[in-house]
Amino acid sequence: MQRAVEAAGIPTVSVSIVKEITLQVRPPRAVFLHWPLGHPLGEPGRPAQQRQVLLDALGLLETATAPGTLLEPGYPWKRHRYEGE
């Protein structure tokens, strides 16, 4: 899917929570978080956390220079304070 969008000329970035799939698929750009399935942006009701993931992902659109770029911010699940909290 990500490749199809990229092939249409639109730069893409994904948030991944299953590293094994990301390593196999090699999307153009991805942020990996070792978080539970169903929570790519984090927890409900934590806008600062969601915003941080979003900024990390969008930032990768500016910084990545080659396909297959994977960013691993390493935020622990639930035990991290985000800017603005």
Partner 1 sequence: MDLRRAKNRLLSRVLARFPSLVDRWARGRSFARDGEAGPWAPLTKPLAACRVALVTTGGVHLRSQPPFDMANPDGDPTFREIPSGAPRGELVITHDYYDHRDAGLDLNVVFPLDRLEELARKGRIMGPAPLHLGFMGHVDGPLVERLVRETAPAAARRLAGTGADVALLTPA
C-beta of 7: minimal distance to partner 1 in Å?
4
Which residues lie near partner 1 (CB under 8 A)?
A: 1-21, 24-28, 34-45, 47, 50-51, 54-55, 57-58, 61-62, 66-68
Q: Which is nearer to partner 1, 8 or 79 (CB)?
A: 8
Q: CA 50 → CA 4, 11, 41, distances in Å?
A: 26, 21, 5
Nearer to partner 1 (CB atom), residue 5 or residue 73: 5
Within 8 A by CB and 6+ apart from 76, the residues are none
DSSP structure class, residue 1? -
